[in-house]
Amino acid sequence: STNNKYDFSSIAKSFSFGGSFVKSQPYGFGHINDTYEAYFEMQDGKMKRFILQRINNNVFKNPEKLMENIQSVTAFLRKKIIEAGGDPDRETLNLIPAVDGKSFYKSDEDNYWRAYVFIEGAQTYQVVEKPDHFYNAGRAFGKFQKLLSDYPAESLFETIQNFHNTKVRFETFINAVEKDVMNRAKDVRAEIDFALKRYNEAVLLVNMLERGELPLRVTHNDTKFNNVMIDDESGEGICVIDLDTVMPGLSLYDFGDAIRFGTNPAAEDEKDLSKVWMDLALFEQFTKGFLSAAGDSLTKAELLHLPHSAKIMTYECGIRFLTDFLSGDTYFKIHREGHNLDRARTQFKLVADMEQKFEQMQKIINGGI
């Protein structure tokens, strides 16, 4: 998307920025929304920038409900941070309301905009550059869980239904195997068997949730390292951003998914599987950070199942890639033949490696509690 595609001065006027619009330009490395920094001359004559985002309405079909989630969760966080004596303008996202009081501005049928206070003096990083950054990311997501531990999670809108329902994911997978529309199942028998063998463990967390053995939580659902703002001076993970996928779920989804993609030194589509493994040192960094901040807000059952969650989230991702390979690559974009199969194989390699390292994960967790 180019910068002159939208009429920014009119969009800017639709929010209560409290200054006059100067200019805007694309900002950051997000892959989902269109993010801009917008500069304003404020009443005191000083320049100030804000974040202006066009919500991706291909991915998010109900932007108004999504914004209700963000509005409500950020207001809750703000209150908690003030109570704890923190800095509410840096430790949570803060929406700038539209002039009509809404949390978004709809410029036309297809374009929903939102604005945030710009968090200055901090950055997001695409890759972990220092090990303690990963510790600090763990802390940030742990703190996010803790601050929201008494938020009524069931009141949130389920932005993407059954996002981590491994039972439903598994059924979809079995369907794809049975239909076998591309006649590819014969080539991936080993991968299919790998998935089938692990069914019982794959649905463990969903079953526990259904039985009330794990609490429903506010879940971030995109716990990537580049969704944490790292403070320029302290290196601390000061704020968790990118709240589009906040919805009811399990704290274990957030932990497990962070481990899935954060601890594998290779790319998600690496063909040389000898390069794909879980780095226990990184696991330890994230886990210690996460537990140091979330620790006492998590139940015994949650703590006990942290290693399972890493495995289950990785397994889930693997069967999603394999499902898409079997169905003719209709969901994930592919850039080469067998791309989704390569992706499924990295995830299953990672699952196998996690099984090897299961006791070591448990030891690290026990040391961090």
CB under 6 A: which stretch of 31-39, 155-163, 205-213, 306-314 binds ligand ADP? 31-39
Q: Which is nearer to ligand ADP, 28 or 368 (CB)?
A: 28
Q: Which residue is nearest to ligand ADP (CB)?
A: 30
Single-letter code of the amino acid located at 12: A
Asked whether 84 and 2 are in contact (CB, 8 A), the reply is: no
Q: Is 43 helix (H, G, I), strand (E, B) or coil?
A: coil
Select the binding partner of residue 93 from ligand ADP, Mg ion, none (C-beta < 5 to 8 A, by kind).
Answer: ligand ADP
Tell me the closest approach of the beta carbon of residue 122 to ligand ADP, in angstroms. 7
Among 66, 70, 93, 365, interactor with ligand ADP by CB under 6 A: 93
Does residue 69 bind ligand ADP (CB under 6 A)?
no
Tell me the closest approach of the beta carbon of residue 37 to ligand ADP, in angstroms. 8
Question: Which helix (H) or strand (E) element contains residue 17?
Answer: none
Does residue 96 bind ligand ADP (CB under 6 A)?
no
Does residue 119 bind ligand ADP (CB under 6 A)?
yes
Q: Which residue is nearest to Mg ion (CB)?
A: 242
Distance CA 166, CA 354 (A): 18
Among 6, 104, 105, 116, interactor with ligand ADP by CB under 6 A: 116
Please report, as ranges, the residues that interact with Mg ion according to CB under 5 A.
Answer: 30, 32, 227, 242, 244
Does residue 22 bind ligand ADP (CB under 6 A)?
no
Among 12, 17, 33, 346, interactor with ligand ADP by CB under 6 A: 33
Does residue 124 bind ligand ADP (CB under 6 A)?
yes
Distance CA 320, CA 259 (A): 18
Q: Is 124 helix (H, G, I), strand (E, B) or coil?
A: coil
In Å, the largest CA–CA distance within the chain is 69
Q: Is 318 helix (H, G, I), strand (E, B) or coil?
A: helix
Hunting for tokens 């890639």 — which residue is that?
Answer: 321
Q: Which is nearer to ligand ADP, 242 or 257 (CB)?
A: 242
- Binding pattern to ligand ADP, positions 177-216, x when CB under 6 A? ----------------------------------------
Nearest residue to 286 (alpha-carbon basis) of 313, 318, 314, 264: 264
Does residue 57 bind ligand ADP (CB under 6 A)?
no
Half-sphere exposure of 363 (CA within 13 A, CB side): 6
Q: Which is nearer to ligand ADP, 278 or 317 (CB)?
A: 317
Backbone torsions φ then ψ of 89, nearest 5 degrees: -85, -10
Does residue 51 bind ligand ADP (CB under 6 A)?
yes
Tell me the closest approach of the beta carbon of residue 227 to Mg ion, in angstroms. 5
Sign of CA dihedral 317, 318, 320, 321: positive
Q: Which is nearer to Mg ion, 32 or 208 (CB)?
A: 32
Nearest residue to 194 (alpha-carbon basis) of 367, 352, 30: 352
DSSP symbol at 97: P
Tell me the closest approach of the beta carbon of residue 90 to Mg ion, in angstroms. 18
Select the binding partner of residue 136 from Mg ion, ligand ADP, none (C-beta < 5 to 8 A, by kind).
Answer: none
Does residue 227 bind ligand ADP (CB under 6 A)?
yes
Structure tokens at 280: 């226990």
Using alpha carbons, list the distances in angstroms from residue 190 to 15, 174, 249, 278: 55, 15, 31, 21
Does residue 28 bind ligand ADP (CB under 6 A)?
yes
Asked whether 192 and 322 are in contact (CB, 8 A), the reply is: yes
Using alpha carbons, list the distances in angstroms from residue 174 to 166, 180, 327: 12, 10, 11
Contact residues for 21 (Cβ-Cβ < 8 A; gap 6+): 8, 9, 12, 13, 38, 39, 40
Among 1, 31, 44, 233, interactor with ligand ADP by CB under 6 A: 31
Which residues, 128 to 147, sit near ligand ADP by CB under 6 A? none
Which spans of this chain sit near ligand ADP (rule: CB under 6 A)?
27-33, 35, 51, 93, 116, 118-119, 124, 226-227, 241-242, 244
